[in-house]
Structure 1
């Protein structure tokens, strides 16, 4: 449920969910939690765990990271280890392990966590290949443990509002979905770690592309709205991958997906825009459109009657997993429901290397590590691709030298 119609919520996602979990009031034991990875997005988990610990929901027992955490960033209860193996060897009776580490480490760390009695929160993307995803699903099923994948946008209450407006025909028949992402990333972004911008490292898959990491939520959210959750919900994936930066992976791409119902989903994404704009997912209906700005939980609906807008609350995925552990509450982002997204990731992983965008079509702004590539007129290209469900080459863009690459779906 969102805010009442006609009102606008000013809560942040954390504030909106702050009262949703109160174990200290019902006498249940605080969940014993270990966090693997305390830097990068791990700092978000540290802040969230601090909030949940203050509420009596969790106790952060231990963290693991080869780079020690900053002084004062952990509660006194938390021991520090260089890796998960050392943490598990020294720690008993964990209830939850959170993995927020580089993409290529997700599979081995997740499999190790599932050999314990703890449930698992695994940051997105869950793993770096479809084969690893299948192994992880098998391990989760054998262990009987729950696995939540960190697609935070899926906790938005706006998704229920979207489901309702589709059911009541507010925008007519749904004809297509597009996801558009326009972000800015500089040279320093690709030098922050050895895996940034890599397709693989020493033969180990990384798949750090625009659709699989920085704007992965756009893809995952579009798939969820389309009802495409598992691998069985997708019949085709096409990719057209490009790069303006001197990297291995793609920074400007179109991913075109078709669901079993025949619905087209087109994700037109770049981190080479002139300026960062909130990404969005657009529902194209026969009688109107709905635009979901998922980072803000903001939904605008346009029909002949005019345009309305609401901002919704959001459920925290860690709280949702804790509530699931205590019975009854469905997981918001369960592992199996990442199957459709993993087909997209696999299509990117197995596609030809991204084609470079010629220098004549790229403008560099800034200097030194702050310099950033801007693909000329990329904003118009993304809009046209999303509206027309077309790839860049199909639009006839002068730098689009590739052709759509069709991914061969695995035979079930």
Structure 2
């Protein structure tokens, strides 16, 4: 029998989820979607509802995929779980540690499964690197750094009322380059360190800046120290000269590794030997379907394994407002919705931060 799937939020990344359900048509069937702005690009026979509550009242579903604004994740996930459905929840799963604890309680109460959409966690490149580290092939792990040099235009921040916001109508959103746009970086680094749980993070230091006219950060360094003692340095921007693939770099006493998680590519530098390989990635929805058929099959990214990441979100939520990068250090390019800022020498400072496991302010970056 095919698994009955519903998608909440069908625009933006939600459209990707719709296509993915249709791709898995031998195992699942898309029975309904919920979105206040219905999409015309849906197969015949798919029911359309203005809200997930209406959908769940009218239609029996087995799995709900939630790809909605950040501040709606927890109430919608709780609604679906209590309706008896398993959930695939987009990242960031929650906007605060309190929300994380609330949804954890609902998952325990209902006994349902909740997978979170950190796709890099299901990459064989990520998992192979974690195994290499655990085997000691890179020696003592001195630190992990995540590098993200992205370019985002005004269109990105204009796409939705919550984009670029820390709070909206009094509700925490905590959007930003660290928590959302390049959130995979922090999550992957924590996974590699074996520090995914809420109690696996000892401290989080934030150094948040913005060049865009938004509330949230777009150019930041964050240093996580795990209970294992590993420093994890996140150095990311949405104001780069060009859009490059993000990487997670592992610094070991006997070697170095570079994970390009978007392409599932891994470079291993072990002594004088360099190997580079591109590996496969398991689809998170397919993994959830496998888990439903056989609970002995583990989820690649169960909700509980995002606790360490949520500690980072919580630190950013409580941090002071991002500081504005002086106009003299910003060059603007493009017009209208294509307009975007470029922070002077931001790539240089990101590389230094990643290499030295240091915050922008510690390095004396000019905007600090």
| TM-score of the alignment, normalized to the shorter chain, above 0.5 | yes
Alignment of 1:364-383 (within 5 A): 364-383=332-351
1:95 equivalent to 2:65? Answer no
Aligned twin of 2:196: 229
Does the 8 Å CA contact 1:137/1:336 hold for their aligned counterparts? Answer: yes
Q: Deviations over 1:267-298 (max 9, x none)?
A: 00100000011000000011121000000000
Indicate the SS of the match to 2:148: strand
The aligned residue for residue 214 of structure 2 is: 247
Partner of 2:164: 197
1:64 maps to 34
Moved more, 205-214 or 157-166: 157-166
Which of 387, 396, 399 is the equivalent residue of 2:367? 399
The one of 15, 31, 34 equivalent to 1:43 is 15
Residue 181 of structure 2 aligns to a residue whose secondary structure is coil
Shift of 1:37: 0.6
> Which residue of structure 2 lines up, in the alignment, with residue 257 of structure 1?
224
- For residues 160 and 269 of structure 1, what CA distance do their matches in structure 2 show? 23
The secondary structure found in structure 1 opposite 2:84 is coil
After superposition, where does 1:71-150 map in structure 2 within 5 Å?
73-92=41-60, 94-150=61-117
Which of 147, 159, 183 aligns to 1:180? It is 147
8 Å Cα contact 2:233-2:354 kept in structure 1: yes
Whole-angstrom CA distance in 1 between matches of 2:144 and 2:130: 14
Q: Distance in 2 between matches of 1:164 and 1:232?
A: 22
1:353 counterpart (316, 321, 324): 321
Paired with 1:46 and 1:34, the residues of 2 have a C-alpha distance of 9
> Structure 1 residue 171: deviation in Å?
2.1
Q: Which residue of 2 aligns with 1:24?
A: none
Listed as ranges, the matches of 1:310-321 within 5 Å are 310-321=277-288
SS in 2 for 1:111: helix
Asked if the contact 2:126/2:261 (under 8 Å) is kept, the reply is: no
8 Å contact from structure 1 (residues 233, 340) kept in 2: yes
Residue of structure 1 equivalent to 2:305: 337
Confirm whether residue 30 of structure 1 aligns to residue 2 of structure 2.
Answer: yes
SS at match of 2:361: coil
In structure 2, what is the equivalent of residue 21 of structure 1? none
For residues 315 and 214 of structure 2, the distance between their equivalents in structure 1, rounded to whole angstroms, comes to 19
SS at match of 2:31: strand
Q: Distance in 1 between matches of 2:134 and 2:74?
A: 38
Partner of 1:157: 124
Q: Tell me if the contact between 1:180 and 1:279 (Cα under 8 Å) persists in the aligned partners.
A: yes
Q: Deviations over 1:110-137 (max 9, x none)?
A: 1111111111110000011111111000
- Is the 1:59–1:77 contact (alpha carbons within 8 Å) kept by the matching residues of 2? no
Distance in 2 separating the partners of 1:340 and 1:133:
11
Higher helix share goes to which structure? Answer: 2
CA–CA distance in structure 2, aligned partners of residues 197 and 167 of structure 1? 37
Q: Deviations over 1:176-202 (max 9, x none)?
A: 100000000011111111111000111
Q: TM-score, normalised by structure 2?
A: 0.98
Match of 1:338, SS?
A: helix
1: distance between equivalents of 2:134 and 2:79?
Answer: 42
Counterpart check, 1:212 vs 2:152: no
Root-mean-square deviation (CA, aligned residues, Å) is: 1.0
Unaligned segments of structure 2, at least 5 residues: none
Q: Structure 2 CA distance, aligned partners of 1:350 and 1:295? A: 29
Partners of 2:272 and 2:128 lie apart in 1 by 18
- 8 Å Cα contact 1:60/1:77 also seen in 2: no
